[in-house]
Structure 1
């Protein structure tokens, strides 16, 4: 399942996101979207988890949780094919 994270602290990195989601199950990929010009985070990203039940639990538990003092929003992302 593709999970979208918005309102992400620009200080957060992919390893931190993986660490937040791993306690809920297998994480197959983590991506923070970076600005091509500045090389800095755009404040959103995606986590891919193959097990839907684990992903839904992670979304429920991590939505509005703080990372670097900022509450991130976690929701079901759109399929990559869409």
Structure 2
């Protein structure tokens, strides 16, 4: 079963191919993705790699974590599963609220 890894502190010019090649040193890479900003298209400095199994993922963490890729020391850890985001609905708490009634305030200036 594939095992997904988070890869942080990537240089902004790292490509999916670079990630795939880097991780292939320790095992079979199922997929590699560099996350980019949806507006500018520039890398956000992190990505995900899916290794073919849990043992290879562990080996990647032990071997490659805190090693250099394109001039930066990458941070590798198991990816955390996130709950799917819902649409715009739901009970979102809005910050703020009204200003206080209070008594003070400035009086007339005469």
Q: Which of structures 1 and 2 has the larger relative contact order (alpha carbons within 8 angstroms, sep 6+)?
A: 1
| RMSD, aligned α-carbons | 1.5
TM-score (ref. length: structure 1): 0.91
Number of matched residues?
82
Task: Return 5+ residue gaps in structure 1 as ranges.
Answer: none
In terms of fraction of residues, the more strand-rich structure is 1
Q: Which structure features the higher share of helix residues?
A: 1
Bigger radius of gyration? 2
Runs of 4+ in 1 over 2 A off after TM superposition: 79-82
Unaligned 5+ segments in structure 2 are: 85-110
TM-score, scaled relative to structure 2: 0.69
1:16-44 CA deviation, whole Å, 9 max, x = no partner?
11001112111111011011111110000
Residue 71 of structure 1, aligned match among 73, 83, 107: 73
Measured in 2, the distance between the counterparts of 1:81 and 1:20 equals 29
